[in-house]
Structure 1
């Protein structure tokens, strides 16, 4: 047996992000609609999002500190089996909200669940019909909550042929099963097997089944498990059966065998093998053989009520003190039937958006106006006024006008929003005209590509909306200059949200970078316009261009030729994803490539990636839309399309790879964002 854990209940400070949906991510109409202001307030987090497991699922062990599921990961809403399986099996943390009844095919299939997941029903609507869940060896930190899981019953009461459980775990740890309705399955409702441990099962209704709950099936005395406030009714056996459990703590459960039904109990709670069980303040009503134990098991009873029971009711041994492992306060056994009948099973308050006013600290607003009517006359002055290492959001509200200046948001000033306050994103413009080859005023050399940016963002959690960022360097007037790359916006940070902006340039317009080669940099661009001609969306960031217009521009001499993307992605990262967008412009047909691989500095270890999916491509896109760069073949890297439309979409070929449906399932917006839900603030 393991030594007792110190008393501990983990409470995380992060909240589950809001659902990743069009409603959560869009402020105002898309780019094809009329220009609108982009101001929006963040929604309050749902109260259930901060809930954490108690009991043995709360302890620190096996490298896991408590059970909090997918909290901190992306929240997604699912309505089909395919969607549920996609997110349940993903490597990244997810909060998966089941929004309705999902039929499972084939009947009896147990959907595999990976670590760091919360699967929660939306109110009382979330149901898994004809299937269940399976948690395999090593799976940990999983919450299954507020669901109805039902109906794999195959017509044979003691079914030996179909191992169809509602929830089965083989070798999992740190699992919280809470507020579910589990019934009418072909085998057990819950099976905790093969050294699964650190499990809490609370406030569930288990009913209408032969076998309710089996624990153990191993020679090892390993499992630590807590069961409390469950309503177990009309189940014949295993209520529960606990085999070789190191520590089984059962309290405040209501076990009911109602008279006059077709289901009669054969026994209630059973301590088998080497189990050490504490059974307290529970209520047994009408059960035959309510509590039994093997001679080798230890079972301590205290404070239980037995009403109308008959047969074996056993105890013996010393077991353990649950309070050596975690804190708890049991209710009086006499109150258990009413408490549990009122509180067990799915709740309408769980898995739904909050209406409470629990918003985070209000943002500070700094105003900028060229005419002096604001606090500052330049955007950079407002940025300079943001305190270093600020902990909360600072909104720089920029009144309409053209601000010819360079703006830099340094890395020690996170949580900054620059927002135009005009009716249109065209009303507020930040513009400058440096190029890579432009000499610095101090004579120290040229700016280089990255240094040419009109706006440079190096701070995490940056947002920009309802404005234009432009580099208007005139290539034609500076043909003698070496280095025509001219960046409008450079990001070198994580969780950058560009919403409803226009980013305009020619060569190298939008540089999506990271703070360092080994640092993650996620960028989400939505409902925006990006204009350029040569490699004008480029860099090593993990970046999504979603629901936007990518406008192809002619070169300085009026010719049509160019490249939309030039990713320089690390081998273990995702690159550039263009989704649900439009690629078009007033250029010649067949003149633009969708991308080429940028192995920055000749680094052969890079694995550049661009995926273009569910996007309208104009005839300007070449029929072979990918090409080589600086001696590196695009075919050695990651370039693909999926379900694009329009005159430039073309057909799959060796020179135009398409994703399969299975591949596309892993290359969606949520996969790119990997645990971050962009929310306007």
Structure 2
């Protein structure tokens, strides 16, 4: 993952974006002002199926030449786009044709407008010329972004009368905006269809266009819109605009955030099925929602298991229209919320299983938009709704102190995991205190260690090694070797338990080296969800397998406690919706540092987001962080960003500090919209991100192509 040096800027915008990205687990921090550890666990987005393919170059476009096509190329639509009608059997795009890879506007237009079927892989950001250009797509096409690299800038696609069997997938389509919010002169849409049928729009990021992000007009039908991100737009998603009751449309698992109107607006649709969508209007931004889902004319709409957060007029209907609501959640909404009339049973047309409404915000913030697993030759691919492939899961490896499980220690269960295991192995640890050290080696990926109790306090893994503790074979453990739990395997998860180092500093003052790590990670894609990590100095070491290796860690709904450098290392790490508890030193004094990043210059460092900093310590006694140039390495660029968090009075008014002779001002330390008595205004000693800079320092920027999935 690359990173721009210096401050992040954004291009000109008509108004400010939302101030915080909602990624993670939507659980209230009910214990945020205490040191009581809660019990809630969260839920995440998507899983994937696996396949592989290859391609060879052929001029400016690339044609697939192997027999095995990637699985995403065989994906077909669900919802109304899957229904046989009008002579078309479902929606499968260009899978019967050649696969070509394009990086220029000329090539994209050449293949999209061809008569024969094509799978067109967009492998670059393609700028439309002139601005607002909409390529007139012909039937039997799949236009798909290659991982997250496919972008259409300043224009979009048009599907005319009779065009059918088209998939538009995994693209970012953006920025045809012409400076007028309610633009009447520029009909520049991301995707517009007039009289098309059997169209699947899936996993796209659609934003900042002059007119609609999607317009489904003039009796277009058999359309499914799924797993897309809609943002930063006025007239977002219009459906219908005809007197005929023809349009059949499914809109599911889409995230609408900071969009003013048409979310969507559905006019005279025969059957409109909207489910598992997330409509979000954050406070404090200048984009205000005027309404959410709108059933107009004679539309018959079924609206279920969707989540509305902060929306004005979340659900509205005309007197002649119908809306049947069931299972929806409304949080902080105001204005019209209407239902009435009779609609239809979607299951009489196609099968589907809605997700739980409570899971929708986390599921969609993690799972919408372009995927790195789609559009690539060797990537994995999801099913139409991109949920995890199901099938028979291996039975958990159970651990119990009393012998009622298969193992009595956690390490024994880890040892039983097959080397290079290809799929997830869950180690379920029954309540109890397990005094042991645990190491998950690099050749045992996809391991989950999960407490089986009702609370994260019920299952405790604890030991008391410190950096200066003597090893049985000679020497000392050192900081990294002192960890109670050491994780070196990718795709590791820990959930619903406590990991602690209870080294007693007061009783070991003669010992040289009091750093005592509770949890060390040196791997990529580590999810720590609903856990407690407890220690004093150097509690949580977030490292990477090597200096040139990426190591991403996502900590959510958790508690981390300590006093000196207790969140540290070179990993790209997010602490989200969690509680950071400050502790006094062994002698009762209050002084310390929360973070000590040692980030390489080309990586993101530590992001603390939507969290709480508290603890029974003196006011003005703790720094938010200091810059650790490990080994005196001047090439490092340590980074910590603390944003949208509540800071107690314990945080110093000058919250950053130098370390090892390096000035923190030469590295990357900043805050954004923190609150609480420990927050403060921007100054030379307290850098604050601007709104535009903050858009480049969000959870998604840290995690990149990884979408944590519990």
Normalised to the residue count of structure 1, the TM-score between the two structures is: 0.57
Task: Tell me, yes or no, if the aligned pair for 2:656 and 2:664 is still in contact at 8 Å.
Answer: yes
SS of alignment partner, residue 697 of structure 2: coil
Counterpart of 1:420 in structure 2 is 451
Describe the shift of the 1:578–1:69 C-alpha distance in structure 2 as closer, same or farther (beyond 3 A): farther
CA distance in 2, matches of 1:167, 1:547: 34
Counterpart of 2:666 in structure 1 is 636
Counterpart of 2:411 in structure 1 is 380
CA distance in 2, matches of 1:61, 1:150: 24
Indicate yes or no: 2:612 matched with 1:582.
yes
CA distance in 2, matches of 1:28, 1:411: 34
CA distance in 2, matches of 1:151, 1:441: 67
CA distance in 1, matches of 2:627, 2:97: 47
Q: Which of 36, 39, 48 is the matching residue for 2:39?
A: 36
Counterpart of 2:526 in structure 1 is 496
Task: Tell me, yes or no, if the aligned pair for 2:125 and 2:149 is still in contact at 8 Å.
Answer: no
Counterpart of 1:133 in structure 2 is 155
Counterpart of 1:552 in structure 2 is 582
Matches within 5 A, 1:497-576: 497-576=527-606
CA distance in 1, matches of 2:23, 2:494: 18
Counterpart of 1:472 in structure 2 is 502
**Radius of gyration: which is bigger?**
1
Task: Tell me, yes or no, if the aligned pair for 2:525 and 2:552 is still in contact at 8 Å.
Answer: yes
Describe the shift of the 1:48–1:621 C-alpha distance in structure 2 as closer, same or farther (beyond 3 A): same
CA positional deviation for 1:133: 2.8
CA positional deviation for 1:567: 0.3
Task: Tell me, yes or no, if the aligned pair for 2:25 and 2:42 is still in contact at 8 Å.
Answer: no
Counterpart of 1:59 in structure 2 is 99
Task: Tell me, yes or no, if the aligned pair for 2:565 and 2:593 is still in contact at 8 Å.
Answer: yes
Structure 1 residues without counterparts, runs of 5 or longer = 1-19, 71-87, 91-106, 121-127, 136-140, 155-160, 169-176, 191-203, 209-232, 234-342
Of the structure 1 ranges 514-523 and 360-369, higher mean CA displacement relative to structure 2 is found in 360-369
RMSD: 4.9
SS of alignment partner, residue 601 of structure 1: helix
Write the deviation string for residues 427-454 of structure 1: whole angstroms up to 9, x where unpaired. Answer: 11000000111110111x1111000000
Task: Tell me, yes or no, if the aligned pair for 1:435 and 1:449 is still in contact at 8 Å.
Answer: yes
Task: Tell me, yes or no, if the aligned pair for 1:435 and 1:484 is still in contact at 8 Å.
Answer: yes
Write the deviation string for residues 165-191 of structure 1: whole angstroms up to 9, x where unpaired. Answer: 4459xxxxxxxx95479xxxx99999x
CA distance in 2, matches of 1:23, 1:189: 25
Structure 2 residues without counterparts, runs of 5 or longer = 1-19, 50-70, 77-91, 105-117, 135-143, 158-166, 192-197, 203-208, 220-241, 243-348, 356-367, 370-383
Write the deviation string for residues 225-259 of structure 1: whole angstroms up to 9, x where unpaired. Answer: xxxxxxxx9xxxxxxxxxxxxxxxxxxxxxxxxxx
CA distance in 1, matches of 2:681, 2:38: 35
CA distance in 1, matches of 2:438, 2:571: 20
Query: For this pair of structures, how many residues does the alignment match?
Result: 445
Q: Which of 395, 418, 438 is the matching residue for 1:407?
A: 438
SS of alignment partner, residue 59 of structure 1: strand
Describe the shift of the 1:58–1:588 C-alpha distance in structure 2 as closer, same or farther (beyond 3 A): farther
Counterpart of 2:169 in structure 1 is 143
CA positional deviation for 1:354: 4.0
CA distance in 2, matches of 1:369, 1:382: 10
Describe the shift of the 1:480–1:63 C-alpha distance in structure 2 as closer, same or farther (beyond 3 A): farther
Counterpart of 1:429 in structure 2 is 460
CA distance in 1, matches of 2:411, 2:527: 19
SS of alignment partner, residue 627 of structure 2: coil
Of the structure 1 ranges 351-360 and 578-587, higher mean CA displacement relative to structure 2 is found in 351-360
Q: Which of 452, 463, 466 is the matching residue for 2:493?
A: 463
CA distance in 1, matches of 2:121, 2:405: 45
CA distance in 1, matches of 2:168, 2:667: 35
Write the deviation string for residues 141-175 of structure 1: whole angstroms up to 9, x where unpaired. Answer: 9837899x9999x9xxxxxx97754459xxxxxxx
Q: Which of 669, 674, 681 is the matching residue for 2:704?
A: 674
Describe the shift of the 1:569–1:414 C-alpha distance in structure 2 as closer, same or farther (beyond 3 A): same
Task: Tell me, yes or no, if the aligned pair for 2:101 and 2:121 is still in contact at 8 Å.
Answer: no
Normalised to the residue count of structure 2, the TM-score between the two structures is: 0.55
